[in-house]
A and B are shown apart, each in its own frame.
Chain A
């Protein structure tokens, strides 16, 4: 899903500390990282990966299907728009604390271009055995058929790691990001998993704030044939306080964990109370 062995990935901001580290980690994961982009650093190589001044140039020389943006927030919007304008089909924005108006501009421009945005403030996408566009740690994955989608990064790593330990490998793991306006929603992810021949069950890791989980529940009810196991973080969070993520906020009584848990249960998802219950629940729905 989204990425396979032939997908050509470029890294924007490859000469920075994070960009460099993760470009190498992606390559180590088996990803076809064809180029990096840092304006003014064209002609360099980073761990054997050629660097260009612009996405257009990198794309002309190597082709670019997916771009991963590691550029700091001051320049992240321009970088993402540059990739979209150059015709990159999927742009993964790892950058945290991106201004929300920039996120709206990028996502609406992507829509005009017929492209996909994942993030911002996300851990990206990993397909074990095939490739990765993002920052998820390589060691936690195992090939298999469980699809995982999460707003949070580290909580997803925790869950993926425990699934792998229990012998439940993953088809694709997708980190959609913790901000309030994001390019790929739970519903988008569920639709992809439903249509993905490698996925047999889906684990959805949600959290308080907004109504994305309630919308996901509607989709599960009406359009999903594959079983969904869900966990919602923030059941004990106080109202009106931002809990780390810009989007994790129970505001004016809306976006509570209870509303999300109830909606998902009513739609037929298997909702667990604690993250460590997920592997056993996946095994249980698989036996049914």
Chain B
């Protein structure tokens, strides 16, 4: 879960990292009298705001209020702007880049630093970004700090750099972060290191132990949110065949196979490892609400038993006035029983995935 900039900065401030003073507003008239130049920043959980008009400089109260007014209610990278951060614009001597993230291949945190910053990290010259693997039991030690200070051209500031890195490491570990990024980190004209931006992403699987953080999942597609609350992964796509399968790999493989046969998936739904007919029923209801013309169900029964899925489907379809055209493929535990249950309700049921896909594509084409 990506925090908004002001939420990330709150974590920074609590840790003692210097950030500009500012205020979050949800209406133009909430902007206080400003006596210094300010930055007006749309609060959305996405990068690249600058390019989309989501970051503006303003001098004076009127200009700041008008900037806030022009941002509220717009959409940036698909996110509605419902709040805006107004904060002091500091005199910049230099802009730099710092982040701690997780390197999947090494399986450890990795610290990245660059002596230039302020733009999108992808836009940074690879040769100018230095990387240090951080052992999770060691954190940021002084030998790393010295190298970082040299890499971002802050000789003589090892103390401040070490202090900042220690605090970023504390945020990274104590909030189960996948990313803590400061871009830019600025050196002000009077020599202070200030985090002018914050990008903090919390590992979704760790949110249960951070009850104080803002609740995720209230934003985005209504059905995706409904599915998430059931522990089901649902992603809306552009075609019109809804795909339901159990297990992420199997669901993706079903999408790919459908495409090989000329079908276009309209939604991805991974049931995960459930064996509860009521949950299957709910999943199918969510899928049918997404307006698919045909639904293709592909189950390899193990922990999820085929007849449990058949039971859930029969219940869901029975309760719908106009159910979507449904094609089912079941293999594995209790597959024959499942196919019998489905066929007795005149639901197309197959053992071979390829045949089920061809049937789903044919039905979609016939409608």
Contacts and interface: CB of A to CB of B under 8 A. Distances in A.
Whether chain B is bound by chain A comes out as yes
Contacts of B301: 137
A104 B260 CA distance: 38
A137 B302 contact: yes
Nearest to B177: A101
B206 interface: yes
From B248, B333, B354, residue with most partner A Cβ within 10 Å = B248
The B interface, classified by DSSP as helix, strand, loop or mixed, is: mixed
B173 A101 contact: yes
Interface in A21-38: none
The A interface, classified by DSSP as helix, strand, loop or mixed, is: loop
Nearest to B245: A154
A180 B256 CA distance: 22
A154 B250 contact: yes
Contacts of B268: 237, 243-244
A166 interface: no
Contact of B205 (A99, A208, A233, A235): A99
A136 B209 contact: no
A74 B250 CA distance: 27
Contacts of B332: 137, 140, 157, 161
Contacts of A156: 249
A238 B249 contact: no
Given A158-B300, A180-B102, A236 B204 contact: no
A243 B235 contact: yes
Contact of B252 (A96, A208, A210): A208
Given A108-B136, A233-B253, A244-B270, A101 B176 contact: yes
A96 B105 CA distance: 20
A154 B256 contact: no
A152 interface: yes
B316 interface: no
A104 B136 contact: yes
Interface residues of A, number: 62
Contact of A244 (B105, B136, B178, B233): B233
B15 interface: no
A198 interface: no
B259 interface: yes
B208 interface: yes
Contact of B250 (A18, A97, A108, A152): A152
B300 A154 contact: yes
Nearest to B178: A100
Given A108-B108, A235-B256, A276 B249 contact: no
A96 to B, nearest CB: 7
B269 to A, nearest CB: 9
Interface string B223-250: 0000000000101010000000111111
B102 A181 contact: yes
Contacts of A227: none
From A104, A241, A244, residue with most partner B Cβ within 10 Å = A244
B203 A244 contact: no
Contact of B354 (A207, A243, A248, A276): A276
A181 B205 CA distance: 13
13 contacts: A100-B178, A135-B302, A135-B303, A140-B332, A152-B247, A180-B102, A210-B104, A234-B255, A236-B256, A237-B252, A238-B237, A241-B235, A242-B235
Q: What 8 A-B pairs have minimum CB-CB distances, sorted nearest first? A: A152-B249, A244-B248, A154-B247, A155-B249, A244-B270, A99-B206, A245-B248, A233-B252
